[in-house]
């Protein structure tokens, strides 16, 4: 019989599910594997108020397949117009768990993001007081900075000073991609953590140019050199609770990915835990998967760990070349190729 692994049902601490027909198309993939997910607020228009988050939460619950038990953990999008009062409302709502910082212009629907930290000082003080985590897209947007250096420069120029200025603020550096980010998280206070995607654990930047340009491997922060992938792998298998699972699964229709100016985002929700298992297995560390996927994130967010289990097995399974996506198509990671692990129904 093939090798099987049963773990506590995991949570996804960074997920894009979009809205409307797109939401209906992708949500079942996540709900099949995960109990909860932190839902990114970069819709158009962004989710900036408690009211908008509540309405979005309702749409997500309505889009769930019947019988699914899945809890969306909502977030607010930080803008220069955010207020401390809205943060208090968010905290007391019980369904908003974090606030997302996008540097203005850094990525998909980030135009409403923050240009100057000084504009959100009062809001960050309130969040620090309330214990409401700040989720950080950690890249500078200066076009003069090399795209492969934008995470490192952000950490040096903005995040280190920020963490010093708000020493009790809970910070999650999202989708880390570099050895610099690993080092930052390791040396920071215990209230600083990071999410790591499956694609950044499995791919390096060569995947962008494998026999030609590969738009479906384009995401932000962009894939980095092999030495950085190795640093991420080492961090997640170390068993350090500061590193936990966040897929950043980010669906875009095929036509906007295969485009002269293609969107950033890799869709991994169709095989998320399977892809993480492959990464951990590649370094003989499957015993470290459960805590990374199912314990550390919940502990950081102050939520109870899940009780039920899922089982995966080491069984090759072919990924469809495309998935339906609201009348369009979505090209999933490993499209037309094999996963090494599969979910046992
Ligand atoms: O690759 C990405 N896609 N990175 C982001 O930061 C945003 C995301 C999206 O929303 O498509
Ligand atoms: Zn994201």
Residue 197 has a pLDDT of 99
Q: How far is CA 273 from CA 12, 276, 305, in A?
A: 9, 5, 17
342 lies in some domain: no
pLDDT digits (tens, 9 = 90+) for 18-38: 999 999 999 999 999 999 999
Q: How many domains would you assign to the chain?
A: 1
Ligand whose nearest atom lies closest to the CA of 151? 1
323 lies in some domain: no
335 lies in some domain: no
343 lies in some domain: no
pLDDT(107) > 80? no
- Give the relative orientation of helices 50-63 and 20-33 as an angle to the nearest 10 degrees: 70
pLDDT digits (tens, 9 = 90+) for 230-261: 999 999 999 999 999 999 999 999 999 999 99
Helix (H, G, I), strand (E, B) or coil at 235: helix
Residues with CB under 5 A from ligand 2 (ion): 248
Residue to probe by mutation, ligand 1, list 12, 147, 217, 220, most atoms within 8 Å of CB: 220
pLDDT digits (tens, 9 = 90+) for 181-207: 999 999 999 999 999 999 999 999 999
Q: What is the domain extent for residue 130?
A: 10-305
Cβ neighbors of 172 (< 8 A, separation 6 or more) are 13, 98, 133, 134, 135, 136, 192, 193, 194, 195, 246, 300
Residue 345 has a pLDDT of 79
Ligand whose nearest atom lies closest to the CA of 248? 2
Q: Are strands 323-325 and 328-330 parallel, antiparallel or unpaired?
A: antiparallel
pLDDT(112) > 90? no
Would you state the structure tokens that stand for residue 183, as one six-digit string?
């080092």
236 lies in some domain: yes
173 lies in some domain: yes
Cβ neighbors of 249 (< 8 A, separation 6 or more) are 12, 15, 16, 26, 30, 266, 267, 268, 269, 272
Query: Is 248 in the active site?
Result: yes
pLDDT(330) > 80? yes
Residue 2 has a pLDDT of 86
**Average pLDDT for the chain:** 97
Residue 108 has a pLDDT of 74
pLDDT digits (tens, 9 = 90+) for 58-79: 999 999 999 999 999 999 999 9
Nearest-angstrom CA–CA distance, 94 and 87? 12
Ligand 2 geometric centre to CA of 112 (Å) = 15
Burial class (CB in 10 A: 0-12, 13-18, 19+), 146: exposed
CB of 268 shorter than 6 A to ligand 1: no
Ligand 1 geometric centre to CA of 221 (Å) = 8
pLDDT digits (tens, 9 = 90+) for 144-154: 999 999 999 99
| Kind and range of the H or E run holding 85 | helix 84-93
Mean pLDDT (whole number) for 8-15: 98
CB 115 within 8 A of CB 158: no
**Closest to 100 in 3D by CA, of 185, 159, 208, 173:** 173
Residue 111 has a pLDDT of 80
User: What CATH number corresponds to the domain at position 222?
Assistant: 3.20.20.140
99 lies in some domain: yes
CB of 75 shorter than 6 A to ligand 1: no
Mean pLDDT (whole number) for 112-132: 96
pLDDT interval class at 48 (50, 70, 90): very high
Would you state the structure tokens that stand for residue 111, as one six-digit string?
């135009």
The 10 Å CB-count burial string (b at 16+, else e) for 299-313 is: ebbeeeebeeebebb
The one catalytic residue in 149, 248, 281, 308 is 248
341 lies in some domain: no
Nearest-angstrom CA–CA distance, 153 and 164? 16
Residue 193 has a pLDDT of 98
CB of 141 shorter than 6 A to ligand 1: no
């Amino acid at each position: 019989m093939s090798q099987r692994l049963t773990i506590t049902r995991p949570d996804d601490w960074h997920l894009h599910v979009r809205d409307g027909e797109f939401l209906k198309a992708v949500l079942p993939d996540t709900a099949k594997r995960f109990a909860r997910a932190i839902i990114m607020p970069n819709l158009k228009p962004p989710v900036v108020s408690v009211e908008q988050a509540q309405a979005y939460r309702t749409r997500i619950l309505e889009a769930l397949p019947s019988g699914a038990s899945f809890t969306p953990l909502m977030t607010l999008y930080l803008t220069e117009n955010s207020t401390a009062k809205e943060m208090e409302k968010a905290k007391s709502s019980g369904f908003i768990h974090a606030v997302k910082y996008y540097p203005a212009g850094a990525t998909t629907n980030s135009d409403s993001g923050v240009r100057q930290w000084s504009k959100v000082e009062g809001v960050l003080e309130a969040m620090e007081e309330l214990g409401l985590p700040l989720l950080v897209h950690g890249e500078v947007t200066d076009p003069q900075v090399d795209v492969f250096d934008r995470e490192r420069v952000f950490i040096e120029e903005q995040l280190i000073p920020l963490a010093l200025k708000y020493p009790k603020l809970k910070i999650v550096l999202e989708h880390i991609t570099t050895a610099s980010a690993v080092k930052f998280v390791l040396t920071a206070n215990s209230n600083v953590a990071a999410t790591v995607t499956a694609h950044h654990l499995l791919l390096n930047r060569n995947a962008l140019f494998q026999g030609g340009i590969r738009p479906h491997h384009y995401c932000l922060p962009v894939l980095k050199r092999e030495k950085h992938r190795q640093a991420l792998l080492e961090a997640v298998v170390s068993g350090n609770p500061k590193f936990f699972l966040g897929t950043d699964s980010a669906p875009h229709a095929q036509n906007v990915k295969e485009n002269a100016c293609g969107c950033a985002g890799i869709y991994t929700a169709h095989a998320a835990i399977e892809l993480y298992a492959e990464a951990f297995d590649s370094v003989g560390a499957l015993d470290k998967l459960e805590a990374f996927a199912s314990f550390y994130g919940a502990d950081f967010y102050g939520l109870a760990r899940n009780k039920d289990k899922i089982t995966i097995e080491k069984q090759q399974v072919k990924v469809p070349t495309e998935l339906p996506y609201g009348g369009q198509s979505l090209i999933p990671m490993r499209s037309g190729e094999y996963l090494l692990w599969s979910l046992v129904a």
